[in-house]
Amino acid sequence: MIEVTELLCLRPLTLAEAKAISDGKRSLVWASDYPQVQDVEIASYLLRQVDSRWPSQSQFQIVDRRLKQVIGGIGYWKRTRSREMEIGYAVVPSRRNTGVATDALIAMATKLRIDFPKLGLYLKVEQKNEASLATAAKAGFSEVSLDLDMCTLILRQPKIKSKDHPIASSSSD
């Protein structure tokens, strides 16, 4: 588990949760608008991979500790022979504009910088998605290229919040 704030943590996706998401089942610990389409696609993809390890090493659920609910997902993947990793995230509509995505993105980027210091980090965002562009900027990503309707943003240095934000203090669960 990655501790983000007193109210937020990132929990590795388990095999049982991935199957439930992929099969369209519901869990009492999920927000009413979770999972989203992206969560289903990622869980289904991971389940098809013969080398997937569980709990997932690369896909996490964003958990609101106060509500004790999963409110989104965040993860990363590395392309074969690439020197960079892509980060992707989604927060349920009912929890957007609360800073959750920014905090989760900062925590994930910081974890990846620690675990994989020689690899670059990037994020792809739709050009018209102003909220995601603002989230990326707040987390320290900067725009580097435009491709049709997508922006590719890279991370120069992860932002680390104040003392009340214990980023990436990993513990085994």
pLDDT at 51 (0 to 100): 78
* Residue 30 · residue 126 · CB < 8 Å: no
Task: Check pLDDT > 70 for residue 75.
Answer: yes
Task: Check pLDDT > 90 for residue 118.
Answer: no
- Measured torsion, CA atoms of residues 114, 120, 47, 93, in degrees rounded to the nearest 10: 90
- Considering only the C-alpha atoms of the chain, give the largest distance between any 2 of them, rounded to a whole number of Å: 42
Burial, 69: exposed, middle or buried (Cβ in 10 Å; 0-12, 13-18, 19+)? buried
Neighbours of 78 (CB within 10 A): 14
Encode pLDDT of 78-112 as tens digits.
876 778 899 999 999 999 988 899 999 999 998 89
Which domains are present in the chain? 2-170 (3.40.630.30)
